[in-house]
Each structure stands twice: as structure tokens, then as C-alpha cells.
Amino acid sequence: MARILAIDDERAICDLLVRVLERDGHEVDVTCDPTDVPARDLSRYDLILTDVMMPGLDGFELVREIRGRVDVPIVFLTARVSEDDAVVGLGLGADDYLRKPFGTAELRAKVTAHLRRERREHHAALDFGLVRLDLAARELAVSGIVVPLTPTEYAICEFLARRPGQVFSRAQILEKALGWGTEAGEDAVSVHVSNLRAKLKRGGVEPVQTVWGVGYKWRA
């Protein structure tokens, strides 16, 4: 069972999310008012689902405000179909998006995939000089200081770091590191890699390298 927060200004969507996800045994809190979310104790949730186009505080602004406080997967529920919109959302720290109207099977599969990825068992650490990946805690640290990566950014780092020196295309990273059929496409990988590289560079390291025309690799 997971604790899920769902945010959507349409009551019918909220009711649907509760009905479908509670059937799978999850505990679902819903709100139609996004402005009350920042005041909540967000640490109690394992996954956040949020609409994009909402009055008062849209989903992009909401994620920008809360991402620094939570490290759980955030999935947008959106009727916006522009790839540019998806890139903006992912750039703010979201992990994925589900396009409206969506089917219940697709919703359940997406939620299950994200939760499964977060609950994989790990029993070791990977060390690369100043960089250390704690596979049990799912954390990356530089010189002992934890870098605040999103779940997807961490997943990409772990996937590449387990195979140092090997080059992977964006399609391979999308399939192997993220592990679900996202609608965001390969451009999403570029956005996530750009974000994580910026965070690592601020710590003085650049382990993720671009291999032009091919993809990315972890520097051995």
C-alpha cells in the first residue's frame, strides 16, 4: 500500500482517482484546491499526482514550490498536449506525465511502475572518487554531501553508474532506467540529464558525459 496525494480542480477526476487507486489498496488523499498543498505535510506521501491547468496555482508553479521539500515521484495529469509543455514540467522536477483523458488501466500501470521503482531492494554502494551512490538509500553524494536529485534523476544516474564507460542512447535510458512506457518521449531523457548534470556540476563533478550523436555514459 502507498500513500498518494492527488490534486485536481475537477471533482470527477478526484473521485475517479480515489475509486481506482483505493481498489489497489492505496491510501489516497485528494484536494481540488492546489493552494492548500504547500501547507501540508508532504513527507507522508509516496507519490504525488497533480493536474496542470488549475485556478489559483497551476501544476507547474505547484511543483516548482514543493519539489525542494519532497523526493517522491511527481506525475502530471494533463490535457496539454504540447511537447514543450512536457519539457517545461519535467524541467521543474516532475518525473512523468499522464495525458488526459486516460484509462484506468493506464493510470494503474503508471502508478504501479513508479512505486515499484522506488521500492526496489538495493544492498550496496557505488564509489567513484568524490561521487558515491548509496543504493539502499537511493541517494547520491558528492564529497559526503547528498545531492537533491529527483527519483528519475537518481534512476538515470544509477543505471549509468552500474555500467561505467558504456554508452547508452536516450531510448535505452528511457526503457531501461525508467522502466515504464512514458508518453514524454526521448526528449524527456535530455531534460532529466541536463537537470542532474547541473546539480552535480555545482558539486564540482561531471560524471555523466555526452557522446555526441549516440547518447550518454558514466565516466569510468
Q: What is the pLDDT of residue 180?
A: 54
Q: What is the pLDDT along the chain (220 residues), one digit of tens a residue?
A: 899 999 999 999 999 999 999 999 999 999 999 999 998 888 889 999 999 999 999 999 999 889 877 878 999 998 865 667 777 777 788 888 888 889 999 999 989 988 887 765 544 788 898 999 988 788 999 999 999 999 889 999 999 998 899 999 999 898 877 765 556 678 889 999 999 999 999 999 999 999 998 999 998 6
- Structural domains in the chain, CATH included, are 3-118 (3.40.50.2300), 125-218 (1.10.10.10)
Reduce the secondary structure of the chain to three states and give it as a string. CCEEEEECCCHHHHHHHHHHHHHCCCEEEEECCHHHCCCCCHHHCCEEEEECCCCCCCHHHHHHHHHHHCCCCEEEEECCCCHHHHHHHHHCCCCEEEECCCCHHHHHHHHHHHHHHHCCCCCCEEEECCEEEECCCCEEEECCEEECCCHHHHHHHHHHHCCCCCCECHHHHHHHHHCCCCCCCCHHHHHHHHHHHHHHHHCCCCCEEEECCCEEEECC
Q: What is the pLDDT of residue 122?
A: 45
